[in-house]
Structure formats: structure tokens, C-alpha cells
């Protein structure tokens, strides 16, 4: 196991308190090291200034952030966690650009790929969210803000958790977002009114937290402008605004003065004399026929309609098509943009630890904020990386200059927050790296071992015959701590007499002696272990046939210039995709002869350092549309002297193939 750092966590404020079975305080967390595995840096700037994209369990990542100087450094947190909706969220996966090759009645889609399961046993959801809210509160700056997106399933419980952790005095808003007003038709029947809204809970870190609602005001429509600005003079349209304070304000002696023969009542003018003179010089002071002054308010000076806590102007259905990534539960950029503009400034640090498709990171990049995004799902990391690469390329094409200000993870107190950079790095925490999706792996385990899933048990995953089944999370090998937690759980169930089946991916060397001693001492609750990497009977299904690529790399001289490197992907095959389509390889190649139909992204590093394992992206081939192919052939400037060229090919299911060649 990697070395860990013990990080202390402050207690929740504690009033009011929500109780549930198995509620446990979080007074400390173990912080695992983070390993940089990929960078995207097209300008060659210092990558410490760039965004941070973390692959791993967000609890581990948040602990790492606390251990590495980011406590109290985050200006804005927006999270869109699972809603406890009782559903598995999936994305549809299709091959690229093969419409012309389809036969009658054949669609060649790869069906659904599980992104995350939003199914929880009893109160496990509350404990999950409680721990993460505690960590997020520790990371927030004193002037920071937290926005938590939820829906009707758990918004009442989450409000209680936030009150307990953040303090009721820091509650600011319960925002209602109307995500859809699309009726389901006259044939739709239900025993309840349909739900078109989500809830966003907004909490400040302290009384110092700031929110600028003026920057998100809504522009007036043409009809509103015509109705409001009904008068006109030589400068254009205006409406009458007050320039004298009302009687109800009481005496204001410092603002009582004579101007052009008019002296206001004791409540005075609304502005000082020099400001009033400036308004008059600009032609914006008017007088009624009875000699009463008023201010001419112009359309150009109107900030628009204020935004309240009912947001019905940002539709999920009508969000721009170029935003959509196929990722389930994706939110529109306009929604995150409103929050980001109001609750942060350029250069501020924005965190989303349920990153999903990367919308928060995308908005932060566009608005000049620094960003950190986290997700446990490898497909989400790949989607976010692809999206951010496209945005940075667009910024460069629009003339954005690279920033050389470094973003040290531990900032000095007097450091000026740097603006958004034109690079980002991908990190992995706790060695979390599976070749297949984590949720899909668990589903495969359940299916392959014949496990009956149990949704109502907060600890065990199901049963197999007369055994209780515990599937240890695949982001770490089985440890003695996992076994001790199992032992403690059984101690809380004195009447439980069934044996236990533990399924894991890797194990510490101390596990086998512990199990041998335990089973010798226990007449009941004997533990059987299936370690999937080495088990001959049950482990074969998880050792799948990996995708393969044939890549040709060579140096080419250029007349009058430096050498170039030519990279040609000759062939690529993904056995997983072929299997999903229920074909054999010859039939697949006969019907879909272009290997590029299987490829989502191609990334190239022309100076790959195998010792560090960091992949520096110097070329990113991300097709603009779903039906476009990657190029497959690339020419890049050659570094001086021998170099290792690495080509990373990501297929439509998210599996990565890395090939290297020294030239």
C-alpha cells in the first residue's frame, strides 16, 4: 500500500443534528499520494498553473487536497452528486461514422455503458454525503461558497446535513431550477404530479462570503424595454427615476442643499452635489412642469432584471447541442456559469468533486477561473479531458496568450491568484486504475459469481447460496483494515450465522495468515476469499482481451528544415467492442473495414518519459462530431536526438491502448 498521511477533520457544528443507523463522525482521513499520469500543455507553460483533473474516489482526493495545503483555499464548490434516485445511469455508445456501412435493420451501437449506480442501501447515502460535506467545508475559504445540486429524493435530508456541518447561520438560498417544462403527453399516466424541478442549496462558508448578483442579471426583452422606457428626448429613450429621497427615510442633513432653485425636503437628495452635477451635465436630469426634479434612467445604464431563487430561464432540453457529451445527468453550461459568475472572480479556485462530464471545469476554464475536477469513473475523466482539450484549442485559436504564473498547490498568503492557464494535468489517487469501468466490473462480478444483489443491506452486497457476499472496492487491494471492518460488522450482528464470501481485486500479503487464523478460531461466519487476479475458476472473466494497435513511427528529413516524425496508425482492433456487437473479428472487419469507427480519441507524446509514466499530450485528435473519424496519420516536429514516441488510443468504450517506439 502507498504511504498515507493522517489528516484531522474538524467536528460538525452539531445543531440541528440528523441521526441515522450507522452514523459515524469523521474526525480524520487517510490521504494517499497522487500520481500525475497525463498533461495537456500545448503552449509549454508551467503546468503548475493549470487545471487539475483527478481520477479516484473523491473522498481520497479531498483528503489529499487537505494534506497538500489546500485547506481553506477553495473559493467556490459546486457539486452535483448522486440523487439517491434508485437508478443506474448509463450512456449510449455507438461506433463512429459508419452510417453508410449499415445493413438493413442493423444499428451497430454498443448498447449502454454504466457510468455510476445511484442505488443505496438504507442510510448509506446519508453517511456517504455527510463525510464529503465535512471535507468540502474544510477546503472552503472563509469567503467561499458551496452550491449542492439535488432533487426531491434527498433534498430535505441534505439540507439538514448542511445545516449541521456548515451552520444554519450560513444558509443563504434554496434555489429552484426548472430543468424542463416538457409535458409527457396525454397518454402518460401517473399517481403524482410530474417533477420538472431540481434544488440547489447554497451555503456560505462564513459571514465574509461574497455573492455578486449584479453580474447575472437578466437582460430586458424588447417588449420590456418599450414598456419601461416610454419617454424620449434628444438623447433617446428614458424613464423617470427618483432623485429626491422619500420622507420615510428621515432627516439627512448632509444631502440637503439647493440646486437650480430647488431645495429638497429634510430627507434630502439621493446623491451628493458633485454626483448630481455630473448627472445634469450628462443630460440625465429632468424637471417636471411644476419644477420637481427627476432622474432620466437610460437603457444603457439598466443592469437588467435581478435573478431570484426561481430559475426558469435555463432549460436542460434547450441547452446547446455542442455541449452534449452523451454523459447521463449532464447539466447545461448556462446553469453553472450563473453560479460561477456570481460566487467567484477571475483567478479564483473552483472545485467539483463529482465531475461527471466536466461541465464545471469547462465553465471555469472559459471564465478565467482555476479549477479542480474529480471523478471515480474513468469514462468521466476521459470525457472531461477531451472536452477541456477542445476548449483550450478554441481559446488558443481566438488569440489567448499562455500564462506563465505558477499555480503552486500551496499558495503563499500574499500570492495573487493567477488567471486561468492553458494547460491541465490528470492525476490518479490511491492507484485507482482499472482497465474496465469500476461499476461494470462489479456488475460482472455479481453476474459471473451468481450473486443475488441485496439493496437493503448497508454493508453486504448480496448473497450466494448460504453465504453473505462482500465485494471490496476495486480501487485498492484487500487489506487487514477491510477484514477488521468485516469482523466489526459481524460483531454488531450476534445472531448472524451465515458464512462470508469476500471478493477482491488484489490483496496484501498479510491477508492469508489472518484468514487462516480467523477461520481456525471461528466455528461460524467462516470467510472464503475470491481474489480475482489469481483465482483460476472465477478470475478469468476480468482478465479480458485487451485492444491492440499497429502503429508505424519514423523520422523523415525535411528539405531546409528540422526533421519530422511521421506517425501512422495502421490497424486497431478492440475485442471488447467486437464481442459487444456479437460478431467474430473477420465478420466485423468485413462489415466495418475502417478501424477508425472504434476509436474515440488519439493522443500523442513525442518525448515520452517511460520512467516517470507521465504522458505529455503534444497532439490531441478529438473529432468534432460523432460521425467524424480520427485522422490516423500525423506529422509532428521531431525533438533533437533519439526520442520515445508514445501513442495513446482510446476506443469508444473508454479502453486505452498505449504503444511506444524509439526513433
pLDDT tens string 440-460 = 667 778 878 889 887 678 788
- Element of type H or E holding 505: none
Distance CA 415, CA 478 (A): 43
Question: Sorting pLDDT into bands at 50, 70 and 90, what band is 527?
Answer: very high
What pLDDT, on the 0 to 100 scale, is given for residue 435? 40
What pLDDT, on the 0 to 100 scale, is given for residue 334? 92
Distance CA 596, CA 96 (A): 7
What pLDDT, on the 0 to 100 scale, is given for residue 433? 45
What pLDDT, on the 0 to 100 scale, is given for residue 592? 85
pLDDT digits (tens, 9 = 90+) for 198-220: 999 999 999 999 899 888 888 87
User: Does 595 score more than 90 pLDDT?
Assistant: yes
Better-predicted residue by pLDDT, 114 or 401: 401
User: Does 603 score more than 90 pLDDT?
Assistant: yes
Could you give the 3-state DSSP secondary structure of residue 394?
helix
User: Does 74 score more than 90 pLDDT?
Assistant: yes
Question: Sorting pLDDT into bands at 50, 70 and 90, what band is 320?
Answer: low
Q: How many CA atoms lie within 13 A of 445 on its CB side?
A: 27
DSSP string for residues in 211-259 = --GGGGPBPPPHHHHHHH--EEETTEEEEEE--B--GGG---GGG---B
Better-predicted residue by pLDDT, 167 or 96: 167
Distances (CA, A) of 186 to 183, 189, 190: 9, 8, 11
Better-predicted residue by pLDDT, 482 or 302: 482
Question: Sorting pLDDT into bands at 50, 70 and 90, what band is 410?
Answer: very low
User: Does 414 score more than 50 pLDDT?
Assistant: no
User: Does 238 score more than 60 pLDDT?
Assistant: yes
Average pLDDT for 251-259: 93
Distance CA 442, CA 465 (A): 18
What pLDDT, on the 0 to 100 scale, is given for residue 244? 92
Residues 6+ apart with CB under 8 A from 308: none
User: Does 539 score more than 70 pLDDT?
Assistant: no
Could you give the 3-state DSSP secondary structure of residue 346?
coil
Average pLDDT for 516-531: 90
Q: Of the ranges 33-37, 158-162, 588-592, which is most confident? A: 158-162
Question: Sorting pLDDT into bands at 50, 70 and 90, what band is 578?
Answer: confident
User: Does 369 score more than 60 pLDDT?
Assistant: yes
Distance CA 382, CA 376 (A): 11
DSSP 305: B
pLDDT digits (tens, 9 = 90+) for 108-150: 666 555 555 555 665 778 888 999 999 999 999 999 999 999 9
Tallying the residues shown for the chain, one arrives at: 663
Distances (CA, A) of 530 to 283, 535, 621, 628: 83, 6, 41, 43
Any idea which of 227-236, 260-269, 495-504 has the lowest mean pLDDT? 227-236
| Closest to 119 (Cα-Cα) out of 82, 150, 80 | 82
Distance CA 200, CA 177 (A): 7
What pLDDT, on the 0 to 100 scale, is given for residue 90? 58
What pLDDT, on the 0 to 100 scale, is given for residue 221? 77
What pLDDT, on the 0 to 100 scale, is given for residue 404? 43
**Percent helix, strand, coil in the chain (nearest 5)?**
25, 30, 45
Question: Sorting pLDDT into bands at 50, 70 and 90, what band is 106?
Answer: low
Q: Work out the percent of the chain whose per-residue pLDDT is above 90.
A: 44
What pLDDT, on the 0 to 100 scale, is given for residue 172? 96
User: Does 31 score more than 90 pLDDT?
Assistant: no
Distance CA 98, CA 385 (A): 25
User: Does 278 score more than 60 pLDDT?
Assistant: yes
User: Does 186 score more than 80 pLDDT?
Assistant: no
Could you give the 3-state DSSP secondary structure of residue 369?
coil
What pLDDT, on the 0 to 100 scale, is given for residue 137? 96
pLDDT digits (tens, 9 = 90+) for 154-179: 899 999 999 999 999 999 999 999 98
The neighbour count for residue 285, using CB atoms within 10 Å, is: 18
pLDDT digits (tens, 9 = 90+) for 620-643: 998 877 788 999 999 999 998 899
Q: How many CA atoms lie within 13 A of 388 on its CB side?
A: 38
What pLDDT, on the 0 to 100 scale, is given for residue 102? 44
Distances (CA, A) of 13 to 4, 9, 173, 201: 27, 12, 19, 18
Average pLDDT for 523-541: 81
Residue ranges and CATH numbers for the domains of the chain are 5-84+120-215+308-429 (3.40.50.150), 222-301 (no CATH), 438-542 (3.40.1350), 548-662 (2.60.40)
User: Does 7 score more than 70 pLDDT?
Assistant: yes
CB-neighbour burial class of residue 288 (10 A; exposed 0-12, middle 13-18, buried 19+): exposed
Distance CA 425, CA 613 (A): 13
Better-predicted residue by pLDDT, 415 or 441: 441
User: Does 75 score more than 90 pLDDT?
Assistant: yes
What pLDDT, on the 0 to 100 scale, is given for residue 432? 44
Average pLDDT, the chain: 84
Average pLDDT for 517-536: 87
Buried b (16+ CB within 10 A) or exposed e, 539-574: eeebeeeebebebebeeeeeeeeeebbbbebeebbb
Question: Sorting pLDDT into bands at 50, 70 and 90, what band is 656?
Answer: confident
What pLDDT, on the 0 to 100 scale, is given for residue 406? 44
Any idea which of 158-172, 227-241, 359-373 has the lowest mean pLDDT? 227-241
Distance CA 649, CA 168 (A): 49
Amino acid at each position: 500500500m502507498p504511504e498515507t498521511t493522517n489528516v484531522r477533520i474538524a467536528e460538525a457544528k452539531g445543531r440541528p443534528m440528523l441521526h441515522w443507523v450507522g452514523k459515524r463522525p469523521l474526525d480524520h482521513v487517510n490521504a494517499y499520494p497522487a500520481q500525475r499520469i497525463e498533461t495537456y500543455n500545448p503552449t509549454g507553460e508551467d503546468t503548475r498553473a493549470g487545471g487539475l483533473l483527478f481520477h479516484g474516489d473523491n473522498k481520497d482526493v479531498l483528503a489529499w487536497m487537505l494534506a497538500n495545503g489546500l485547506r481553506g483555499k477553495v473559493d467556490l464548490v459546486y457539486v452535483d452528486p448522486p440523487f439517491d434516485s434508485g437508478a443506474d445511469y448509463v450512456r449510449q455508445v455507438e461506433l463512429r461514422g459508419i452510417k453508410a456501412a449499415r445493413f438493413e435493420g442493423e444499428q451497430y451501437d454498443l448498447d449502454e455503458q454504466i457510468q455510476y449506480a445511484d442505488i443505496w442501501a438504507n442510510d448509506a447515502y446519508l453517511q456517504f454525503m455527510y463525510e464529503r460535506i465535512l471535507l468540502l467545508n474544510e477546503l472552503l475559504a472563509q469567503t467561499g461558497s458551496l452550491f449542492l445540486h439535488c432533487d426531491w429524493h434527498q433534498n430535505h435530508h441534505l439540507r439538514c446535513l448542511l445545516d449541521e456541518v456548515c451552520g444554519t447561520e450560513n444558509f443563504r438560498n434554496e434555489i429552484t431550477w426548472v430543468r424542463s417544462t416538457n409535458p409527457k403527453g396525454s397518454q402518460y399516466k401517473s399517481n403524482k404530479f410530474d417533477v420538472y424541478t431540481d434544488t440547489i442549496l447554497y451555503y456560505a462558508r462564513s459571514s465574509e462570503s461574497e455573492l455578486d448578483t449584479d453580474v447575472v442579471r437578466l437582460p430586458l426583452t424588447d417588449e420590456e424595454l418599450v414598456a419601461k422606457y416610454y419617454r424620449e428626448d434628444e438623447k433617446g429613450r428614458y424613464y423617470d427615476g427618483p432623485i429626491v429621497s422619500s420622507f420615510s427615510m428621515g432627516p439627512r442633513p448632509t444631502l440637503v442643499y439647493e440646486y437650480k432653485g430647488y431645495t429638497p425636503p429634510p430627507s434630502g437628495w439621493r446623491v451628493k452635489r458633485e454626483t448630481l452635477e455630473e448627472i445634469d451635465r450628462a443630460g440625465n436630469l429632468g424637471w417636471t412642469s411644476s419644477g420637481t426634479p427627476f432622474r432620466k434612467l437610460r437603457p444603457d445604464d439598466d443592469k437588467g432584471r435581478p435573478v431570484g431563487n426561481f430559475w426558469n430561464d435555463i432549460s436542460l432540453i434547450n441547452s446547446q447541442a455542442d455541449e452534449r457529451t452523451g454523459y447521463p445527468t449532464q447539466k447545461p453550461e448556462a446553469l453553472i456559469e450563473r453560479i460561477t459568475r456570481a460566487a467567484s472572480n477571475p483567478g479564483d479556485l473552483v472545485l467539483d468533486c463529482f465531475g461527471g462530464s466536466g461541465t464545471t471545469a469547462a465553465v471555469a476554464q472559459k471564465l478565467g477561473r482555476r479549477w479542480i475536477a474529480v471523478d471515480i469513473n474513468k469514462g468521466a475523466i476521459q470525457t472531461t479531458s477531451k472536452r477541456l482539450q477542445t476548449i483550450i484549442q478554441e481559446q488558443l485559436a481566438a488569440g489567448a496568450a499562455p500564462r506563465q504564473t505558477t499555480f503552486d498547490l500551496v499558495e503563499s498568503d500574499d500570492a495573487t491568484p493567477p488567471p486561468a492557464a492553458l494547460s491541465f494535468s490528470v492525476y490518479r489517487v490511491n492507484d485507482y486504475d482499472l482497465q474496465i469501468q469500476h461499476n461494470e466490473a462489479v456488475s460482472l462480478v455479481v453476474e459471473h459469481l451468481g450473486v443475488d444483489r441485496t439493496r437493503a443491506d448497508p454493508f453486504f452486497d448480496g448473497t450466494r447460496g448460504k453465504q453473505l457476499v462482500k465485494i471490496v472496492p476495486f480501487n485498492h487491494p484487500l487489506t487487514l483494515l477491510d477484514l477488521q471492518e468485516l469482523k466489526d460488522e459481524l460483531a454488531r450482528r450476534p445472531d448472524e450465522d451465515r458464512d462470508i464470501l469476500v471478493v477482491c481485486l488484489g490483496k496484501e500479503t498479510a491477508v492469508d495468515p489472518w484468514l487462516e487464523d480467523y477461520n481456525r478460531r471461528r466455528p461460524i461466519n467462516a470467510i472464503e476469499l475470491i481474489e480475482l487476479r489469481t483465482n483460476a475458476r472465477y478470475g478469468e472473466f476480468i482478465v479480458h482481451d485487451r485492444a491492440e494497435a499497429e502503429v508505424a513511427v519514423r523520422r523523415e528529413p525535411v528539405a531546409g528544415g528540422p526533421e519530422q516524425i511521421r506517425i501512422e496508425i495502421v490497424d486497431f482492433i478492440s475485442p471488447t467492442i467486437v464481442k459487444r456487437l456479437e460478431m467474430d473479428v473477420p465478420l466485423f472487419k468485413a462489415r466495418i473495414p475502417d478501424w477508425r469507427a472504434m476509436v474515440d480519441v488519439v493522443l500523442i507524446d513525442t518525448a515520452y518519459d517511460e520512467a516517470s509514466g507521465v504522458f505529455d499530450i503534444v497532439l490531441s485528435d478529438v473529432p468534432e462530431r460523432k460521425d467524424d473519424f480520427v485522422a490516423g496519420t500525423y506529422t509532428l516536429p521531431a525533438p533533437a536526438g533519439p526520442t520515445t514516441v508514445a501513442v495513446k488510443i482510446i476506443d469508444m468504450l473508454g479502453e486505452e491502448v498505449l504503444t511506444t517506439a524509439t526513433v
